[in-house]
Amino acid sequence: MTTAEAADRDAGGQARQAPLAWRGGFGRLWGAAVVSRFGDALRGAALPLLAVSLTDSPVLVSLVTVCGFLPWLLFGLLGGALADRVDQRRAMWAVDAARGALMAAFAVAVWLGHATIGLLLALAFALTTLQTLFDNAATALLPSVVPREALSRANARLMTGQEVMGRFVGAPLVPVALGLGAAMPYAADAVSYLAAAALVASLGGGARAERREPRAPGRTIRKDMAEGVRVLWRDRLLRALCVSTTLCNVGVGALIATLVLHITGWLGAGDAGYAAVITAYGIGGVLGGLVAARVAERLGRAPTIMVCGLAQIAALLALGTIRALPAAVAALAVFGLAGMIWNITEVTMMQQRSPAEMLGRVSAAFRTLSIAGSPLGALLGGVSAAAWGRGTPALAAAALFVGGLAALVPGMRSPIN
């Protein structure tokens, strides 16, 4: 057990349960995250359909997805540096207000029939660029809103609420929203952003403000970004976790990009089979969010990630070798459950190990490096499926997860101070 984890336990060795009140700061942050996720689910499902209606070019359609990754690679470190320089609460509500305005303008363009593929791509790029500041500020703000010992449960409730609202509430309502008009998903997203901005702004002085040391003369954004990377890389456990997550994200990217081909083609399960697998994945994620904090408290955080990685490897091997829909449904449920526990535990470890005044930058460096693995994995999945068959990406993902766990081992042996 690590020193940090030992501090969270009482004299009898039992995990201490710090109170996590819904009233006050955390409840409003949770509400903002869930409301915003609802709108994002509507927009995320509607954008590809709109793109297909605006152009016949597969390249232009694929660029909609590219715009969801590229700003992180270009501006992720900058977003983290800014998150450590400004009031994080104000940054979050200002970003959501700006995103709400952009979405409202786009909804009007769609309603008037003036939407173009160029406008759609510009919107996707702008929203993700703003997200680089919002997400890093949110990660850095949470430890000032909840007790340190409650971070794992706070992260679990946030991510679980977002999963439920996005996958099981927002996504099923997309056909209803589109039935009311092509602009409705975007108008609803605009309202969700503005509501989230109001909730975050209402925090006021509820969040415990961290005292920041005066910035040294000549301290530039560039130096701040470099310092975040250095702090991440010098922390042996966080470095190992970042490398491990990046390798695993390559595997996840390969799997997700070709999953529809795997289920409908290799398994021959059709659209209904694909829907069943996606639903199982979502249910697994929700269940993982419900048990994540208890699992981490019982096993310890680093061992929890190792166990989750092993479970995901087993699920991927089953998915890639057993040509039966029930096996695929079970495998994706396990994969989603273990993945959610991994994500919650990973974020909690980063929040607890990073210096408070540098959490935005460390979070940005971690996210930028790990997100880079997803588009690379998508390319790998397509190439491997074309070359060796549609069941291959799942096995390739399993191999990458093995590499990811191997990269994690040295960090688990390091002391935590």
Long-range CB pairs of 58-64, under 8 A, 24+ apart, other chains included: 60/117, 60/121, 63/121, 64/120, 64/121, 64/124
Q: Dihedral (C-alpha) 256, 261, 263, 266: value to the nearest 10 degrees?
A: -130
Given this model, what pLDDT does residue 416 score?
A: 45
Amino acid 7: pLDDT:
42
d(CA 231, CA 84): 14
Query: What is the predicted pLDDT for the residue at 206?
Result: 45
Through-space distance between the first and last CA atoms of the chain, rounded to whole angstroms: 12
User: Is there a shared CATH topology between the 3-9+20-205 domain and the 225-412 domain?
Assistant: yes
Over residues 202-245, the pLDDT tens digits come to 886 544 444 455 455 567 888 888 888 899 899 899 999 999 99
Domain boundaries, the chain: 3-9+20-205, 225-412
What class, spelled out in words, does domain 225-412 have in CATH?
Answer: mainly alpha
Which CATH number applies to 3-9+20-205?
A: 1.20.1250.20
Q: Which helix (H) or strand (E) holds 9?
A: none
Q: Tens of pLDDT along 378-402?
A: 888 888 888 888 888 899 999 999 9
pLDDT for the residue numbered 311: 97
Contact 319, 394 (CB under 8 A): yes
Would you call 208 helix, strand, or coil by DSSP?
coil
User: What would the pLDDT profile of 6-46 be if each residue is shown by its tens digit?
Assistant: 444 443 334 455 566 666 688 888 888 889 888 888 888 78
pLDDT digits over 71-82, tens only? Answer: 888 888 888 888
Nearest to 169 by CA among 339, 39, 27: 39
